[in-house]
Amino acid sequence: MNEMTTIAKTTTLKDWETDQEVRWCPGCGDYAILKAVQRTMPEIGTAPENTVFISGIGCSSRFPYYMETYGFHTIHGRAPAFATGLKLANPNLDIWIVTGDGDGLSIGGNHTMHLIRRNLDCQIMLFNNEIYGLTKGQYSPTSRVGTTSPSTPYGSVDRPAQPAAFALGAGARFVARGFDVSKELPNVLKAAHAHKGAAFIEIFQNCIVYNKDVFEDFAAPKGAEDRQLWLKSDEPMLFAKGTKGIALDVDALNLKVVDVVDGDWQAAGVIVHDVTNRSVAHMLVEMRFGEFPMALGVLYDDPRPTFEADVWRQNKAAAEGKTADLQSLLKKGQTWTVTEGGPEL
């Protein structure tokens, strides 16, 4: 989010759509995410000419072609590095990073980590389909144990990375989850944009070809209320139409599912969601699905000063009382000559 953004005009969905042919597989979850973003942008109130989408490599990384904004389709895992340079050069830009579980957590894992810990003011959308789609279905850092693929024909033995846990461990001040076809995804995107700093959003995305329906256990519409916990700030953690909730097991110091009788969630000990509680956020992302519902929505939101603001403040202090005058430096009698080995004084 950029609090200095100047709104030139009210926009509509059409202002954010390009004339480019969308080239994803029919039925890919990326279509739903793209449409959710395009529909959300007018409600956010930013302007296309002030917005940049930056991606690395992968199916998700075609995203900048389909947004009528500025965009960079960069190299594998390096979108955070480009975003950092761009934000430092022009802090007024509204920057969105689009990455995937392979691009952002494998070859780009270190870049993602450092961008998060520095707290660059941007939105990071990580599309998690638990597979490498663009390179034809190899297992990825988030693939589950036992996943069979061209690179794991007998099943993966790797323990998968958890993107939301990774972000919290890297020092993220905003962590959220959603999934591609959810009607709640635009609200998650709005909350991420309203956060001043690095906002990390894990978006579960269905790869129709190489990992079809891997999230159906919680994302399928039928019975979703029993398997999804949509978190709302300052509201009790209820699911299953209010008949179940999440409480703190004070003996084991972890979370547990409790029954709610006659709507009396206070008597059941159900927790009220505090988005600034980092400890509970860690517990929410570690909840084992099946025993628990899938925690979705804004898990953690606690802003702090941003990286680019600190850099600009430091540079301003260092330049205090000095005149930016290249010509005066050149007049101090130093002469540069170019030799075969390079420039020399």
Confirm whether 324 is domain-assigned.
Answer: no
Same-domain status, 254 and 214: no
Confirm whether 7 is domain-assigned.
Answer: no
Q: How confident is the model at residue 1 (pLDDT cuts 50, 70, 90)?
A: low
Answer for the pair 127, 203: CB distance below 8 angstroms, yes or no.
yes
- Taking residues 117-131, what's their average pLDDT? 97
Same-domain status, 227 and 299: yes
Contacts of 266 (CB under 8 A, 6+ apart): none
Q: Which two tokens stand for residue 109?
A: 């894992």
Answer for the pair 170, 116: CB distance below 8 angstroms, yes or no.
yes
| pLDDT score of 246 | 98
- Three-point CA angle 238, 258, 229, nearest 5°: 30
Same-domain status, 251 and 148: no
pLDDT in tens, 281-298: 999 999 999 999 999 999
Same-domain status, 220 and 285: yes
Q: What is the DSSP letter of 106?
A: I
Weakest mean pLDDT among 51-65, 229-243, 298-312, 331-345? 331-345
Which of 272, 288, 322 corresponds to the end of one domain? 272
Same-domain status, 216 and 68: yes
> Containing domain of residue 253, as a range?
235-272
Confirm whether 4 is domain-assigned.
Answer: no
Confirm whether 3 is domain-assigned.
Answer: no
Same-domain status, 189 and 300: yes
Same-domain status, 21 and 91: yes
pLDDT in tens, 213-265: 999 999 999 999 999 999 999 999 999 999 999 999 999 999 999 999 999 99
| DSSP string over 171-217 | T-SEEEEEETT-TTHHHHHHHHHHSSSEEEEEEE--BTTTBTTTTHH
Same-domain status, 122 and 248: no
Mean pLDDT (the chain, rounded): 92
Same-domain status, 115 and 256: no
Contacts of 249 (CB under 8 A, 6+ apart): 255, 256
Answer for the pair 164, 296: CB distance below 8 angstroms, yes or no.
no
Same-domain status, 32 and 115: yes
- Taking residues 86-105, what's their average pLDDT? 96
Confirm whether 322 is domain-assigned.
Answer: no
Confirm whether 6 is domain-assigned.
Answer: no
The string over 79-118, giving b where at least 16 C-beta atoms fall within 10 Å of a residue's C-beta and e elsewhere, is: bbbbbbebbeeebebbbbbbbbbbbbbbbbbebbbbbbeb
Q: Which residues pair with 342 in a beta bridge?
A: 339
Number of domains the chain contains: 2
| pLDDT score of 345 | 47
pTM tops 0.85, yes or no: yes
Same-domain status, 163 and 268: no
Backbone angles phi and psi of 103, in degrees to 5: -60, -40
CATH number at residue 47: 3.40.50.970
Which of 220, 245, 272 corresponds to the end of one domain? 272
pLDDT at 326 > cutoff 90 = no
Confirm whether 335 is domain-assigned.
Answer: no
Q: Whole-angstrom distance between the N-terminal and C-terminal Cα of the chain? A: 45
Same-domain status, 175 and 260: no
φ/ψ region of 135 (left if φ > 0, alpha if ψ in -120 to 50, else beta) reads: alpha
Confirm whether 314 is domain-assigned.
Answer: no
Which of 215, 249, 272 corresponds to the end of one domain? 272
Helices and strands counted in the chain (H then E) = 12, 13
